[in-house]
Amino acid sequence: MTSTLRAIHQISRPQGMPAPGDFAFVEEPLPAVAPGTALVENLYLSVDPYMREQMDGGWPLHAPLEGRSVGRVLDSRDPRLPEGALVFHRAGWRTHALVSRNDQARVLPGHQGVPLTAHLGILGGTGLSAYVGLAHVARVRPGDTVFISAAAGGVGSAAGQLARLLGADRVIGSAGSAAKVAHLIDHLGFDGAFDYHDGPVAEQLAQAAPEGIDVCLDNVGGDHLAAAIGAMRPHGRIAWCGAVAQYNSARPPAAPYNLYDLVEKSIRLEGFLVRNHRDKQGELEDFLVPHLRSGRVVPAETVVEGFDHMVSAFLGMLKGANLGKMLVRL
């Protein structure tokens, strides 16, 4: 077994879009395994939009970064994290990690017929965000028309499929290219989709859903949120999951011009953070695993090979280079 690990540190605060120079690859000794801890060799690492916000001050400089990961236990002094077990943890951006149950590391359930990568995507925080937003915040009901922004990303790809399972009658998504629009319709079962570069989002959404929408899971904010409010039927529900439109902007977009429509149409807008809903993890797995096994749900993923490409995978995700969940295989 190697005596060192490789990690990525953030070394400067970005102005706008991050650049490779904001990161540094470092080599460090493997940490000692103390009682209650386990040494894990990481197999897959996740990159996610929320990480961009962390770069502005949530992550300390010149220290290992944080991110969802799955790996195999190499050495353990905790019987609940046995050697050889596959585990989920949050000590990403490195080849090896010292983890503990106190840090929410957990042994993966090993669902037969479900790929390991699903635990960072549709069965991980990505899928949990989509599930909580649709099932518990917006409370999708049979017959609903659902609009999902950034629908070709990790959360959006999961949400489109989940909405159908929850009873939605029509599912519409926005994406950033014609190829992504085709992917949503041809592979993920969306009823309609549009490229937000092709014209005003409000106009395109009105064309895709001329009778309006009942639910929106919004990952973008800005013009997408305003369009959803405008298209919303009375008593509609908006679950606000993210605001990728402003993550790299020096001047965040103004609030939607039509916020008063929330009052006029009795619309409920609720923001949420998935970390406050970890108690729904078992519920998500009970709901989704049978559909993953049957093939009714597809874990949409883009997998980048090699730890050396971790930063480029992260930057590519911010620029929309991925279809589905962006992962790095070590």
Contact predicate 95/5, CB 8 Å: yes
Instruction: Give residue 190's identity as a one-letter amino acid code.
Output: F
Task: Parse the chain into domains and list their residue ranges.
Answer: 4-120+300-329, 125-275
Query: 31: which residues sit within 8 A by CB, 6+ positions away?
Result: 39, 98
The pLDDT of residue 252 is: 64
- Chain centroid to CA 302: how far? 12
Predicted pLDDT of residue 284: 97
CA–CA gap between residue 72 and residue 58 (Å, rounded): 28
Assigned CATH topology for domain 4-120+300-329: Quinone Oxidoreductase; Chain A, domain 1 (3.90.180)
CATH superfamily of 125-275: NAD(P)-binding Rossmann-like Domain (3.40.50.720)
Q: What is the pLDDT of residue 29?
A: 96
| Verdict on whether the full-model pTM lies above 0.85 | yes
* Burial class, 253, CB count within 10 angstroms (exposed 0-12 / middle 13-18 / buried 19+): middle
Give the number of other CB atoms < 10 A from CB of residue 207: 11
Confidence at residue 2, expressed as pLDDT on a 0 to 100 scale: 85
pLDDT along the chain (330 residues), means of 10: 93 95 97 97 96 93 95 97 97 97 91 94 96 98 97 95 97 97 96 97 97 96 95 98 70 80 97 94 96 94 97 96 96
**Are 4-120+300-329 and 125-275 equal in CATH topology?**
no
